[in-house]
């Protein structure tokens, strides 16, 4: 009951400089993009605990140099934390504009250290003490809780677990967008074949999304045919996602792979640095392309777990536990490291190997969603059953 009262208070509190309150549930202008880094990215080399001598002991070959000690050193955010230099041009400006915050020690209590189990756990977002229902992902439940005002889409080849559930969520990967070979007449004939089958809604949705995307992409395609240089990789995807999320879609999901760095992950430069650089560039492009709508947009970057705090024998890292999540958006209260923290030292490691999880992700997201959408306790309970939401005042 206490929690509910608190939530009510938050939801009702007037004028607390919460831009998102203006766009609460009814209007649908609030936008959410969840970016899932599959593979367990090495958070400790992204948000670098530069104040910890233990960090430098534990990673003799792959640590990011202390700020000011080298040309490619970590960028100091405060006395304790620094940012990987690969995102200097892309993410640092967002952080400085207070449009980006980090939540260290974030993740799930799930402890298998299996990519798949842990990804599933996060995407389902269900209580751990009961059998998992694989047809109910947390983003689908959010879309359902927002009822008529949500319009969700997965920018992936397949609908991710997070979007499985009662709301039919379409998917469309945006790496390659082609003009369809099935013409309008054929589209109608095919849709008719499925009208009375269980696949009917998926078929119709697919055609609608296909046409919608094509319409919205036509400008980009025209531009691309004139311009010599067009972005590639994740930046291209991110720009396309922005095109669609400026328009009809207000809840999106995309995943980015390639983070399972068991071997030769590099330090200030190298494999992981390149991945981070691309990701950072993509997110900065997304923010820019959202234009005005960026002010109503929140991007959440998650990953299934962090990696071992110590480097392994192959200058890589193995599966760990706590991670660092990112929250970005034009209207957020960023430029800070949010959530519960402990000093980074041997004694605070989880099982003497990983970051602990102090900011359970469902609690963090519940707090975030409550403020973004002005969700009632009942709506919140639908998204994350039995979760005590944690208020980090990020929006």
Partner 1 sequence: MLGAFTRDIRLLCGVAVLALTAGCQYPGGAPSSGAGAEPRFTTAESRLALLDRITWGVSASSAHAIEASGAERYIEQQLRPIPAALPPPVQAQIDGMTISQRSLDELLFEVEKRRRGVLAIQEPDDRRAAQRAYQQELTRLGREAATRSVLRAVYSPNQLHEQMTWFWMNHFNVFQFKGNVRAMVGDYEENAIRPHALGRFRTLLGATARHPAMLRYLDNVQNAANRINENYARELMELHTLGADGGYTQEDVQELARVLTGVGFVLTPNVPKVRPDRQADYVRQGAFEFNPNRHDYGDKMFLGQIVKGAGLTELDEVLDRLARHPSTARFISRKLAVYFASDDPPAELVERMARTFESSDGDIAATLRVLLRSPEFAASLGRKFKDPVHYVLSALRFAYDEKPIANAALALLWLNRMGQGLYGRETPDGYPLTQASWSSPGQMTARFEIARAIAAGQGALLGDEAISAKSTDVPQLSGSAHSGVVRKTLSPSTLTALEQARSAAEWNVYFLSSPEFMHR
Q: Under the rule (CB under 8 A), what is the footprint of partner 1?
A: 38-39, 111-117, 134-135, 154, 157-159, 164, 168, 170-173, 178, 180-182, 186, 189-190, 192-197, 199, 202-203, 205-207, 209-210, 257-258, 262-263, 312-314, 316, 318-319, 351
Q: Which is nearer to partner 1, 49 or 160 (CB)?
A: 160
* Shortest CB 260 distance to partner 1, Å: 8
Q: Which is nearer to partner 1, 84 or 350 (CB)?
A: 350
Q: Which is nearer to partner 1, 316 or 367 (CB)?
A: 316
* Shortest CB 348 distance to partner 1, Å: 19
d(CA 245, CA 36): 17
* Shortest CB 203 distance to partner 1, Å: 5
* Shortest CB 355 distance to partner 1, Å: 16
Ramachandran region, residue 98 (left: φ > 0; alpha: ψ -120 to 50; beta: rest): left
DSSP 124-170: H---TTS---TT--HHHHHHHHTGGG--EEE-SSS--GGG-SSS---
Q: Hey, is 258 helix, strand or coil?
A: coil
| 324's tokens | 């660092």
Q: Is 144 exposed, middle or buried (0-12, 13-18, 19+ CB in 10 A)?
A: middle
Q: Which is nearer to partner 1, 111 or 293 (CB)?
A: 111
Q: Which is nearer to partner 1, 4 or 134 (CB)?
A: 134
Q: Which is nearer to partner 1, 38 or 84 (CB)?
A: 38
* H/E element, 303: strand 297-303
* Shortest CB 240 distance to partner 1, Å: 14
* Torsion, Cα of 127, 130, 133, 139 (10° steps): 0
Q: Is 177 exposed, middle or buried (0-12, 13-18, 19+ CB in 10 A)?
A: middle
Q: 34 - beta bridge partners?
A: 253, 300
Q: Hey, is 76 helix, strand or coil?
A: strand
* Shortest CB 254 distance to partner 1, Å: 13
Residue 149 CA neighbour count, 13 Å, CB half: 16
* Shortest CB 354 distance to partner 1, Å: 11
Task: Answer whether 83's CB lies under 8 Å from 95's CB.
Answer: yes
* Shortest CB 38 distance to partner 1, Å: 7
Phi, psi torsion values for 60, nearest 5 degrees? -60, -30
Q: Which is nearer to partner 1, 260 or 381 (CB)?
A: 260
Q: Which is nearer to partner 1, 201 or 343 (CB)?
A: 201
* Shortest CB 233 distance to partner 1, Å: 15
* Shortest CB 84 distance to partner 1, Å: 23
Q: Which is nearer to partner 1, 76 or 111 (CB)?
A: 111
d(CA 153, CA 150): 10
Phi, psi torsion values for 154, nearest 5 degrees? -105, 130
Q: Which residues contact 301 (CB under 8 A, 6 or more apart)?
A: 35, 37, 283, 325, 326, 327, 328
d(CA 384, CA 379): 9
Q: 52 - beta bridge partners?
A: none
Q: Which is nearer to partner 1, 207 or 361 (CB)?
A: 207
């Amino acid at each position: 009951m206490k929690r509910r009262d608190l939530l009510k208070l938050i939801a009702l509190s007037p004028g607390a400089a919460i831009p998102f309150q203006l766009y609460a549930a009814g209007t649908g202008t609030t936008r959410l993009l969840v970016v899932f880094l599959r593979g367990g990215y090495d958070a400790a080399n992204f948000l670098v605990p530069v104040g910890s001598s233990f960090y430098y002991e534990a990673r003799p070959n792959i640590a990011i140099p202390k700020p000011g000690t080298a040309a490619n050193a970590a960028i100091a955010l405060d006395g304790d934390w620094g940012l990987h230099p690969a995102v200097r041009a892309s993410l640092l400006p967002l952080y400085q504009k207070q449009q980006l915050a980090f939540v260290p020690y974030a993740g799930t209590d799930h402890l298998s250290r299996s990519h798949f189990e842990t990804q599933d756990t996060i995407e389902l977002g269900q209580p751990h003490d009961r059998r998992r229902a694989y047809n109910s992902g947390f983003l689908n439940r959010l879309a359902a809780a927002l009822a008529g005002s949500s319009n969700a889409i997965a920018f992936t080849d397949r609908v991710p677990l997070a979007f499985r559930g009662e709301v039919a969520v379409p998917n469309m990967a945006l790496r390659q967008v082609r003009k369809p070979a099935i013409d309008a007449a054929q589209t109608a004939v095919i849709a008719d074949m499925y009208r009375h089958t269980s696949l009917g809604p998926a078929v119709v949705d697919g055609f609608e999304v296909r046409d919608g995307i094509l319409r919205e992409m036509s400008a980009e395609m025209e531009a691309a045919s004139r311009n010599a240089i067009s972005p590639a990789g994740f930046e291209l995807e991110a720009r396309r996602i922005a095109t669609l999320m400026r328009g009809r879609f207000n809840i999106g999901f995309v995943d980015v792979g390639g983070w399972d760095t068991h071997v030769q992950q590099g330090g200030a430069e190298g494999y992981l640095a390149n991945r981070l650089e691309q990701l950072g560039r993509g997110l900065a492009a997304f923010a820019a392309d959202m234009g005005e709508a960026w002010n109503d947009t929140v991007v959440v970057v998650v990953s299934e777990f962090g990696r071992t705090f110590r480097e392994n024998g192959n200058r890589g890292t193995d599966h760990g536990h706590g991670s660092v999540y990112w929250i970005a958006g034009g209207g957020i209260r960023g430029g800070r490291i949010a959530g519960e923290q402990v000093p980074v030292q041997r004694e605070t490691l989880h099982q003497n190997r990983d970051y602990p999880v102090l900011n359970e992700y469902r609690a963090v997201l519940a707090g975030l969603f409550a403020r973004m959408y002005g969700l009632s306790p009942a709506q919140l309970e639908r998204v994350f059953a039995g979760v005590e939401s944690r208020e980090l005042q990020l929006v």
